């Protein structure tokens, strides 16, 4: 099969519309992100081996307003945070904030697609990121100290 031509045998099944080639495309998330970035439908179609009309119809009819807003605003916020961290040489907390934001978007996408295993795996990574953030900013340390005192007190009684 020529490079850049979509192969239906490699499609992953999603919770999208059964006949929509983009909903069932293995690169659906990237296609939607390209649409959100206002790239021309023709360029997106060529890149992923699709028809221009299929890309346009998918974006107009199968991507919810909430998902469009998430795609349009989310990456911009992440990009701004990354630039801010690079420019001001910010701390590890800023980078963990970027990671937390990206993981949260991936979690929501997996949940919306009913990919239970993926959502659980992403949630575990998200929790690790939140715990690391809590340890760095001192919030988790206080909780552990209180838990440790309560646990020691319970043993002696």
Domain ranges of the chain: 8-62, 91-156
Asked if residue 60 has pLDDT above 50, the reply is: yes
Res 10: pLDDT: 47
Q: What percentage of the chain has pLDDT greater than the value 70?
A: 68
pTM attached to this predicted model: 0.42
Over residues 49-64, the mean pLDDT reads 94
> Which H, E and C letters describe the chain, residue by residue?
CCCCCCCHHHCCCCCCCCCCCCCCCCCHHHHHHHHHCCCCHHHHHHHHCCCHHHHHHHHHHHCCHHHHHHHHHHHHHHHHHHHHHHHHCCCHHHHHHHHHHHHHHHHHHHHHCCCHHHHHHHHHHHHHHHHHHHHHHCHHHHHHHHHHHHHHHHHHC
């Amino acid at each position: 099969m020529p490079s850049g031509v979509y192969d239906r045998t490699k499609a992953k099944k999603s919770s999208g519309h059964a006949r929509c080639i983009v909903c069932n495309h293995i690169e659906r998330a990237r296609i939607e992100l390209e649409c959100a970035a206002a790239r021309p439908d023709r360029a997106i179609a060529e890149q992923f081996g699709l028809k221009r009309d299929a890309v346009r119809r998918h974006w107009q009819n199968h991507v919810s307003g909430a998902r469009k807003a998430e795609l349009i605003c989310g990456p911009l916020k992440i990009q701004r945070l990354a630039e801010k961290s690079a420019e001001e040489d910010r701390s590890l907390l800023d980078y963990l904030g970027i990671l937390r934001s990206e993981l949260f978007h991936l979690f929501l996408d997996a949940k919306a697609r009913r990919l239970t295993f993926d959502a659980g795996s992403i949630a575990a990574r998200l929790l690790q990121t939140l715990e690391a953030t809590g340890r760095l900013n001192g919030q988790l340390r206080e909780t552990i100290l209180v838990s440790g005192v309560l646990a020691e007190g319970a043993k002696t009684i």
